[in-house]
């Protein structure tokens, strides 16, 4: 039986330590009810300066008022999507997690997407350190994947090259924040509402006809 839903191509710039990206991912998933969504995940490391052991969020340079405003906005968005967040007290280096996700893409969607969501949940819901290789290897086990996936992700230069290409694409497109979505002819920056995503998806579907 053929799938009558229109195909929707999305390019998403995202990082697993970005709480607003987690919200954006949940909202993109809601589009799947009406569209055959295909996402080009451009994984973009937002804090490469952060050491793998992590550091307090105050090192990100936000003043207290701005940080509290961001967290209040995040609480509202999380409630809208039914997401749970740990108290956001530390940040970490996501580089190894991004490489792991890149390697998982080659296994297909059935392996990539559970890992993709587990990486978001590990840091943002459970407060686990994605900069710690032992944590990432535990996540590999939890997803029923082979440890060789991590070995390949962290040694094969192809995956580093992919991340470099995403950084170059971000620079060319003047992407300065995550998440950033490209849907058809529209660009959406930040944790935009589901209605905005829906409108962009409908326009893209109309344009493709």
Task: Look at the chain and report how many structural domains it folds into.
Answer: 1
DSSP secondary structure letter of residue 190:
S
pTM of the model: 0.94
Task: Return the pLDDT at 58.
Answer: 81
Residue 1 lies in a domain: no
pLDDT at residue 2, as a whole number? 63
Q: Which residues pair with 55 in a beta bridge?
A: 91
**Which segments in the chain show pLDDT lower than 50?**
none
Is residue 190, in this structure, part of any structural domain at all? yes
Range of the domain at 82: 7-208
Query: Do residues 50 and 97 touch, judged by C-beta distance below 8 A?
Result: no
CATH code at position 74? 3.40.30.10
The pLDDT assigned to 50 comes to: 92
Counting beta carbons within 10 angstroms of the beta carbon of residue 17, is it exposed (0 to 12), middle (13 to 18) or buried (19 or more)? buried
Residue 195 counted as domain residue: yes
Q: How far is CA 141 from the centre of its chain?
A: 21
On whether residue 2 sits in a domain, the answer given is no
Chain segment 74-118, per-residue pLDDT in tens:
999 999 999 999 988 889 999 999 999 999 999 999 999 999 999
Res 4: pLDDT: 78
| CA 125 – CA 181 distance, rounded (Å) | 23
Q: How far apart are CA 116 and CA 100, in angstroms?
A: 9
């Amino acid at each position: 039986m053929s799938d009558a839903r229109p195909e929707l191509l999305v390019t998403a710039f995202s990082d697993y330590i970005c709480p607003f990206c987690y919200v954006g991912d949940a909202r993109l998933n809601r589009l799947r009810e009406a569209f055959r969504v295909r996402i080009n995940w451009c994984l973009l490391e937002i804090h490469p300066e952060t050491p793998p052991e992590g550091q307090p969020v105050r090192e990100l340079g936000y003043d207290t008022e701005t940080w509290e405003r961001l967290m209040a906005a995040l609480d509202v968005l999380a409630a809208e999507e039914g997401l749970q967040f740990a108290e956001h007290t530390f940040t970490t280096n996501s580089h190894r997690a991004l490489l792991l996700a890149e390697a998982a893409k080659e296994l297909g969607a059935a392996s990539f997407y559970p890992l993709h969501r587990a990486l978001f949940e590990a840091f943002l819901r459970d407060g686990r350190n994605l900069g710690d290789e032992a944590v990432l290897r535990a996540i590999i086990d939890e997803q029923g994947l082979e440890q060789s996936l991590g070995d390949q992700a962290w040694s094969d230069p192809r995956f580093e090259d992919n991340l470099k290409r995403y950084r170059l694409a971000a620079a060319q497109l003047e992407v300065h924040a995550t998440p950033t979505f490209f849907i058809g002819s529209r660009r959406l920056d930040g944790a935009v509402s589901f209605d905005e995503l829906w409108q962009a998806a409908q326009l893209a579907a109309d344009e493709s006809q």
